[in-house]
């Protein structure tokens, strides 16, 4: 199972692509959610806007759960400055 965690716009975009998503803009809230949900989800996409302040903690989760993928994706708000192909990113992660 896959889930997207992040700001409202990023989660909405991924929901349009068929993903489950949870709007969380507080990094500590996202970290607590991931700690509880790491067993439920195989891949967790997290918006960079939320991930930046907790990168060290995300690395710890990755080390403790090597069979799970935590993928940082550009937030839609941040991608306004540069073009981001979200479909390509998803295909790279999922192997499609």
**40-73 residue pLDDT tens:** 999 999 999 999 999 999 999 999 999 999 999 9
pTM score > 0.75 for this model?
Answer: yes
Q: Which residues contact 38 (CB under 8 A, 6 or more apart)?
A: 44, 61, 65, 68
The domain locations on the chain are 2-94
17: how many CB neighbours lie within 10 A of its CB? 11
- Superfamily the domain 2-94 falls into: ATPase, V1 complex, subunit F (3.40.50.10580)
The per-residue pLDDT for range 5-14, each reduced to its tens digit, is 999 999 999 9
């Amino acid at each position: 199972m896959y889930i997207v965690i992040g700001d409202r716009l990023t989660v909405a975009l991924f929901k349009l692509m068929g993903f489950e998503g949870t709007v969380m803009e507080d990094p500590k809230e996202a970290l607590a959610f991931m700690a509880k949900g790491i067993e439920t989800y195989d891949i967790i996409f997290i918006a960079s806007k939320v991930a930046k302040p907790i990168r060290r903690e995300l690395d710890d989760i990755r080390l403790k759960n090597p069979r799970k993928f935590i993928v940082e994706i550009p937030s839609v708000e941040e991608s306004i400055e540069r073009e981001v192909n979200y479909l390509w990113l998803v295909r790279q992660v999922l192997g499609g």
